[in-house]
Amino acid sequence: MLLMKQKEGKADLAIPENNRCMIKNSIAIIILILLAVSCKPVKKVQSLQTAISKPDTVKTVVVSNIPKVDSAAIVKDIMGKVMKKKIDFTTFNAKIKVNYESATESQNVTTYLSIKKDSVIYIKVTLSPIGVVANIYINKDSVVLIQLKGGKSIQYRSISYLQDTTNIPFDFKTIQDILVGNPVFLDSNVVSYKAGSNQLQVLMVGEVFKHLISLDNSDFKVLHSKLDDIDIMRSRTCDISFGSYDMVDGRPFAKYRQISVSEKAKLDIYLDFKEVSFNDPLKYVFDIPKNIKRK
């Protein structure tokens, strides 16, 4: 139960210590959502056939003796269709139920998101029954983390902070695509593909990632992405599944996503989009406070 304290004649919420930890965790959750596809995997690599035939799992997938594609024209056509499916927009608003589960804890938060394309991302984080506990502001150059409960504070970071943290070429547009639901880390170096009755698997190898992407055979929607790091010294892997596609403003949108990250431990993040709109006025904007403790 929340406790009440008096300050300058006004009642204020005193956040219990366990809830303060929850608030800090909720901020970490959102950052994890932004960074989830930047995970770094894999010690070795195994044949494409093995990777494709395996059920979806967060275990490391290994790909070796990768065959070169027989037809560059076929591959070019496939990737052209995938790119045509990318969502284009001017603004984006969403309410998202977020759940994450690890070996030691689980947490539920609700986030409210507004994006002005190629300009700014606003994220409000709410925790029941406390309300808004944090705001996150991201533009092309910087990240601002604003904690509103459990001790107000503000942190300013360069956008390179994300790159330094993940050691990958992580920029504003990549974050934007992750949140909107566009595929990321697509590379022109397609080394193999396989067409099935319902799905098409394409394997790309870039400078940072090996990316095995599964597409719907009928309309080339992204169903699943598996990212493994080129660096064989790492053993982390990341799986992203897209589901519950619905037409939103005339475009297919995955309203449900699961992100599974595995290294020494496993972390599952579930995103359930409850309200989504494109090209409407921004709904969840906020001002960056000036008189607040800076960390």
Q: How many CB atoms lie within 10 A of CB 256?
A: 15
Give Cα separations from 268 to 30, 33, 92, 138, 174 (angstroms): 13, 10, 25, 24, 21
Residue 252 and residue 219 in contact, taking contact as beta carbons nearer than 8 Å:
yes
pLDDT digits (tens, 9 = 90+) for 172-190: 888 898 889 888 777 777 8
Other C-beta atoms closer than 10 Å to the C-beta of 168 total 20
Q: How far is the C-alpha of 88 from the C-alpha of 91, rounded, in Å?
A: 9
Percentages (nearest 5) of helix, strand, coil residues in the chain: 20, 45, 35
| Global confidence as pTM | 0.73
Domains of the chain plus CATH, in order, are 3-278 (2.50.20.10)
More confident residue, 191 or 13: 191
Task: Give the whole-number percent of the chain exceeding pLDDT 90.
Answer: 28
d(CA 45, CA 59): 12
Model confidence pLDDT, tens digit, residues 134-174: 999 999 988 898 988 878 899 998 888 766 655 556 688 88
Q: Are 145 and 119 in contact (CB under 8 A)?
A: no
pLDDT for residue 104: 83
* C-beta of residue 27 within 8 angstroms of C-beta of residue 144: no
Q: Span 13-22, mean pLDDT?
A: 49
Give the H or E element holding residue 247: strand 237-248
Crossing angle of the two packed helices 172-180 and 17-35, in degrees rounded to 10 = 100
Provide the H-helix boundaries in 85-228: 160-166, 172-180
Can you give the pLDDT at residue 169? 62
